[in-house]
Structure 1
Amino acid sequence: MSNEQEGGPVVVQDLGPWVIEMQWPKGATQGGPAVLVVRPKGGTGYPPGGISSTVLRQIDFKEAGEALRRQTAVSELRSEVRERYEADRTQRLKRAAAQGVTDEYLALLASAYVTYVNQGGIGPLAHLAERVGKSQSTVKGHLWQARKRGLLTGSAGRAGGALTEKASAILARIVPGAQQTNPDTRDEE
């Protein structure tokens, strides 16, 4: 029913042959929309008579505002869950790093790396180095080791890759609820 565009959240309503898009400014959850777009529903052709006052009176601004607030609440909840998950992940990573360069540590590091890169994160080495408390060159070496030990696919010198089955098995064993917990990548740590 709704999605988010550049200007702010958008709520979509279906009114027969018409689609109504209402966009609010970023951060706004009260009042009416700042932008209103009325267009023919795709594939139905141009409705006879065009946009009329009857069509405009059918727009349910109250329901759109309620939908906006529901959308905002869900988005905030997802953000809180993601932040809590990442804080827990950082603690697991630091504890594992304190035990040395084990397969468990490398699997956790590889998982954090893959998730960060797949989410479009910039500077994954700096990001991970800060989280683990190691230098960027150390983290780079650890990722290289993860690849050598068969925990991470991809080529050196290129960001990204994927966890191997071996890494996934380690994560399933050491991370409580690994298959269900991650809000971003349900199949990795």
Structure 2
Amino acid sequence: MGMTDDKPLVEYPRLGETVFQQVGNWQVVMRYREWFEGDSSGPISVQIMAGGDVTQADLDMGIGPSVVRQIDFRKAAEDRRKQAQARPESAGRTFEDITKERADERAKILHVLLPYGITDEYLAVLAQAYIVLVDSGESAVTKRLSEITGRAPETIRAHLKMARKHDLLTSTPGRAGGQLTEKAKGKIGKVNSVKGAEMYAELLARRR
């Protein structure tokens, strides 16, 4: 998932719908990010594998350009939309809704981690919440993070500065936001859900 030094690290989106297609004797599996109203993005991964009717000739020839050209991305996009809209929680959901859900989830995780001090895990999740809010167009990011954590805005600024110092958050001169580093992603991997954060907090409590 890492990039070269001159390119920003990317944070992969949360997976949403999975669409299947049959192309000849090959099975195609397309995975998309979480759907929202008006989203027309393509799949974030495409997997082609032998289907149940695959022949020895198919396997000998393997997957070539002719197989890839037969993938119907337009139909897959429509199938994805129908699949998402069939779920009550997805129908009518906007990009802003998804952003708010992510920010709210980060807030819950931060509340679990806060009593255990300024750990790298806390700083990484704070940095992630910061990026989510910046990308959503939030006009008062520090104030919002202050409300989420119950910490003063000055404290939040100090913690974000600490996250950068600990190599958890990159910075671009003159611009808000940044990217999570690979180190931050490793830290977040331990606490990437409320349940995960609670389990990690229990471990910290036992070490005290």
**Aligned mates of 1:158, 1:83 — CA distance in 2:** 22
Match of 1:151 among 158, 165, 168: 168
For 1:154 and 1:136, locate their aligned partners in 2 and report how far apart those are by CA, in whole Å. 19
Match of 1:139 among 133, 150, 156: 156
Q: Separation in 1 of the partners of 2:146 and 2:174?
A: 17
What are the superposed Cα offsets for residues 29-84 of structure 1, whole Å, 9 maximum, x if unpaired? xxxxxxxxxxxxxxxxxxxxxxxxxxxxxxxxxxxxxx9xx599622487766655
The residue aligned with 1:88 is: 105
Instruction: Tell me whether 1:104 sits opposite 2:104 in the alignment.
Output: no
Match of 1:114 in 2: 131
Letter in 2 for 1:104: E
| 1:126 and 2:136 aligned | no
Per-residue CA deviations over 1:129-182 (Å, capped at 9, x if unaligned) read 0000000000000000000000000057641111000001111122149xxxxx
**Identity in percent:** 33
Mapping of 1:169-180 within 5 angstroms?
Answer: 169-176=186-193
CA distance in 2, matches of 1:84, 1:163: 19
Deviates more, 1:140-149 or 1:116-125: 116-125
Partner Cα separation in structure 2 for residue 109 and residue 147 of structure 1: 11
User: Which has the bigger relative contact order, CA under 8 A and spacing at least 6?
Assistant: 2
Cα distance in 1, alignment partners of residues 99 and 134 from structure 2: 16
- Give the total of aligned pairs: 112
After the TM superposition, which residues 67-82 of structure 1 pair with which residues of structure 2 at under 5 Å, given as runs?
Answer: 74-76=91-93
**Structure 2: which 5+ runs fail to align?**
1-36, 40-81, 195-208
SS, match of residue 122 in structure 1: coil
Give, in whole Å, the separation in 1 of the partners of 2:156 and 2:173.
13
What residue number does 1:53 align with? none
Identify if the C-alpha distance between structure 1 residues 162 and 100 changes in structure 2 by more than 3 Å, giving closer, same or farther: same
Alignment root-mean-square deviation, CA: 3.2
TM-score, with length taken from structure 2: 0.46
- Secondary structure, aligned partner of 2:188: helix
**Correspondence for 1:161 among 178, 191, 200:** 178
Looking at structure 1, the residues matched to 109 and 178 of structure 2 have their Cα atoms a distance apart, in angstroms, of 21
Question: Highest Rg: 1 or 2?
Answer: 1
Contact 2:145–2:156, Cα closer than 8 Å, also in 1: yes
